[in-house]
Amino acid sequence: MGKKLTIVFALFLFVGGLLAQGPYYKPYIWKANEPITVDGVLDEWNYNFHWDHNQGSMPANARCHAWFPESNEDKSGYLMLMWDDDYLYFAGNVMDDVPGVIPAPGWRADCFEIYFGNWDIGPNKPWPDYVNGTSKMWPDEDDGKWALQITIQWDAEEDTTEIYEFQSLRRSIESDETRMVGKMWDDKLGYIIEGQIKWSELVSPKGNTFELHEGMYIPLATTLYDVDEWVDYDFDGYSASHADHNPPSGIGPGYQATEIRGVRPGGPFMQSCQPYIQKAPGPVTLDGNFDDWGYAFNLDYNQTAFTDTARCRGWFPLDDYDLSGKQMVMWDDEYLYFAADIMDDVPGVVVGSGSAGWRNDVMELYIGNYDQGDFNTVPHPGSGYTTDLYDSLEMQLSLTWDSDQDTVRIWNWTPLNRSLASENTTLFGKLWDRGEGYIFEGKINLAEIADADEYARTFNFADLVGGIVPFNASCWDVDEWVDYDFDGYIEDKAGAHSGPAYGGGDSWHGARIVGKSIFAELDWLWENYTGVEEQPELGPKAFTLHQNYPNPFNPATTIAFDLNKSGHISLGIYNARGELVRRVVNHEYREAGAHSLDIDMSDLPSGLYIATLVQGSLRSSSKMTLLK
């Protein structure tokens, strides 16, 4: 952004194996859908996993033998990785009060380090302790296993870069194909790096190489180091590993099982980025400091993140400086938390009040309280919000901070159409130091949503872990108080405010509800989990309605579903108008486990139908096509 950055965090998380205190969710690396341009502009990195390094996200023991920065302004930042068949790509965005220092010569520098292995360790280990059951920590084996350490550093004064392989060859690997660029933030209080490493230039002494493929889980760790002086230099940094085992020592505690993902799925915008809402690692303090938000998912708003269909009826900002930024959402048993970090040339403007002032500098959330099954399933056909199911809640939330009056507004448009702001439901806002953007951080008390509705409908996120709730989000901007212009970004098609399937389309998509990041519990894991034994195969980890098979069908099909706990369920079939046409199961008790039912629909006409499974507050739907 070129401004003094408040570090925000992102993470696309995979539902990993259940550990003793689980589930914990693990890092991943997307495959790039096209080659990355190495130019120091991070416009190709939206919605990627961030390896966060800051005061709040590092557990107590992850302090690299007490080399811990004094504050985030001294040193903090994040690293991102992508891959394709030719390259490993990397990018970093770092706040640093004395940025880009490399003592000559010296490995203690302003740098990122990446430590990773080339073999599949499987999803159920937070880290691999050993290789082949031995204590050999930097393998280069006859069976092909190889691990290495790479240092990535940029010298701001000399404007030089270095990509250096410490393990196992101790050599610079920069070339025409393996290279990087670095550049200062505009205010000189941090730096950006971006680069690529050619896979074919990584070859071990035994001839081992890297060949990644979708579905692998490789051992991987990262560190961020800082030095502020050229000669008698101080040295500190962050390491996501135990103080008794630094990643430079080789494969061991701190190396997480990192998923290698393929290219993001095709389809409408939000299905492609597959967001999640994680459980907060602890109570969130509303102070405009995002230390509490390590590894939360970032909803990105900028010129490059959006497809042509995601431009809100042509209300599209002129450039990123007019409007761009990030929004995050988390949950716990009491609250839905939200935060935003927005660049805006005229920040924090609120026009009018109540229902007369909906065109504001505002973030909006659109969310449902049930499991829709997958990212591709529209919760129900047609426009509008659910009104006929007493246990279902779909709502639109408007989150606004007025920088001129220093007032806040948390408004629920549907179904309540009233302010929710209270002592427990509130937000905190502040301008960036140079006034070219704003930050806010807030929370919505879930009980206050329920108390306001005659059906006491609310959100129980703990019961939804592993599921995908209906979800969408937007970011709006107004720069004038009377004759105001109005533009913004919306995650896919315009019309999300009109309900999950505005105009019969896909105006809402989904967000996975997940537990804490594995990084939030590393202290506990280091003390209680060896990472050597595989976890036992447990029963279903989530309430899931599977796609019927066959599909399309004529006239019979099978509907399968998993229950992660016993209880009463209902299963109904609805037509494209949302009308119930077959009650398959009516509030009947079923044990936890896998189930399937054969359905005959010979009495019904050809067309699109929707199967909906309900258990308590959980709900999952799936489209079915009958062809006669």
Q: What is the CATH number of the domain that holds 586?
A: 2.60.40.3080
Residues 504, 552 within the same domain: no
Residue 251's pLDDT is what? Answer: 83
Residues 558, 456 within the same domain: no
Q: Two tokens at 67? A: 């080399």
Residue 128's pLDDT is what? Answer: 63
Residue 9's pLDDT is what? Answer: 26
**CA–CA distance, 167 with 249 (Å, rounded to integer):** 10
Helices (H), 470-584: 522-528
Peptide bond into 105 cis (omega under 30): yes
Q: Which residue type, as a one-letter code, is found at position 125? A: K
With tokens 């805006």, the residue in question is 344
Q: With H, G, I as helix, E, B as strand and everything else as coil, classify residue 120.
A: coil
Residue 60's CATH number: 2.60.40.1190
Residue 389's pLDDT is what? Answer: 60
**CA–CA distance, 431 with 410 (Å, rounded to integer):** 18
Query: Would you give the distance in Å from CA 374 to the centre of its chain?
Result: 16
Q: With H, G, I as helix, E, B as strand and everything else as coil, classify residue 408.
A: strand
Q: Two tokens at 526? A: 């280091």
Peptide bond into 552 cis (omega under 30): yes
Q: Is residue 192 a part of any domain in this protein?
A: yes
- From 68, 89, 79, 113, select the one nearest 7 (Cα to Cα): 79
Q: Is residue 191 a part of any domain in this protein?
A: yes
**CA–CA distance, 336 with 277 (Å, rounded to integer):** 10
492: region left, alpha or beta (phi > 0 left; psi from -120 to 50 alpha) = left
The per-type count for the chain, helices as H runs and strands as E runs, is 3, 36
Residues 304, 177 within the same domain: no
Q: Is residue 265 a part of any domain in this protein?
A: no
Q: Two tokens at 6? A: 């408040």
**CA–CA distance, 176 with 85 (Å, rounded to integer):** 17
| Contact yes or no for 27/220 (Cβ under 8 A) | yes
Residue 231's pLDDT is what? Answer: 52
Sign of the dihedral defined by the CA atoms of residues 278, 282, 287, 293, in that order: negative
Residues 235, 320 within the same domain: no
**CA–CA distance, 22 with 521 (Å, rounded to integer):** 10
| Contact yes or no for 405/395 (Cβ under 8 A) | no
With tokens 């960036």, the residue in question is 432
Residues 612, 551 within the same domain: yes
Within 8 A by CB and 6+ apart from 349, the residues are 360, 361, 402, 403, 404, 478, 479, 480, 481, 484
Residues 174, 252 within the same domain: yes
| Surface-to-core class of residue 352, CB atoms within 10 Å of its CB (0-12 exposed, 13-18 middle, 19+ buried) | exposed
Q: Is residue 8 a part of any domain in this protein?
A: no
Q: Two tokens at 443? A: 């929370």
Last residue of a domain, one of 260, 291, 311: 260
- Measure the N-to-C terminal CA separation of the chain; round to a whole number of Å: 56
**CA–CA distance, 223 with 78 (Å, rounded to integer):** 10
Q: Is residue 7 a part of any domain in this protein?
A: no
Residues 287, 145 within the same domain: no
**Total count of domains within the chain:** 3
Domain extent for 108: 14-260
Helix (H) or strand (E) holding 402: strand 394-402
262: region left, alpha or beta (phi > 0 left; psi from -120 to 50 alpha) = beta
- From 340, 335, 166, select the one nearest 247 (Cα to Cα): 166
Last residue of a domain, one of 208, 225, 260: 260
Within 8 A by CB and 6+ apart from 201, the residues are 173, 175, 177, 178
Residues 459, 378 within the same domain: yes
Q: For residue range 30-52, what is the model confidence (pLDDT) as tens digits?
A: 999 889 999 999 988 988 899 99
Residues 254, 290 within the same domain: no
| Contact yes or no for 561/572 (Cβ under 8 A) | no
Q: Is residue 307 a part of any domain in this protein?
A: yes
Across the 628 residues of the chain, what is the mean pLDDT of every consecutive 10-residue run? 31 30 75 93 89 83 63 90 97 92 76 93 70 63 92 91 88 95 91 97 95 93 82 73 73 84 74 86 91 90 77 74 93 96 90 66 92 82 68 88 90 86 94 91 91 77 91 87 72 78 79 88 64 39 81 88 85 81 86 86 88 82 84
Residues 297, 388 within the same domain: yes
| Surface-to-core class of residue 195, CB atoms within 10 Å of its CB (0-12 exposed, 13-18 middle, 19+ buried) | buried
Q: Two tokens at 409? A: 């507004």
Residues 508, 602 within the same domain: no
Residues 238, 317 within the same domain: no
**CA–CA distance, 184 with 191 (Å, rounded to integer):** 4
**CA–CA distance, 249 with 621 (Å, rounded to integer):** 49
Q: Is residue 276 a part of any domain in this protein?
A: no
| Contact yes or no for 428/442 (Cβ under 8 A) | yes
Q: For residue range 610-624, what is the model confidence (pLDDT) as tens digits?
A: 888 988 767 788 888
**CA–CA distance, 184 with 96 (Å, rounded to integer):** 10
Q: Is residue 25 a part of any domain in this protein?
A: yes
- From 411, 438, 416, select the one nearest 426 (Cα to Cα): 411
Residue 133's pLDDT is what? Answer: 47
Question: What is the phi/psi pair of residue 200, to 5°?
Answer: -70, -15
Last residue of a domain, one of 468, 498, 514: 514
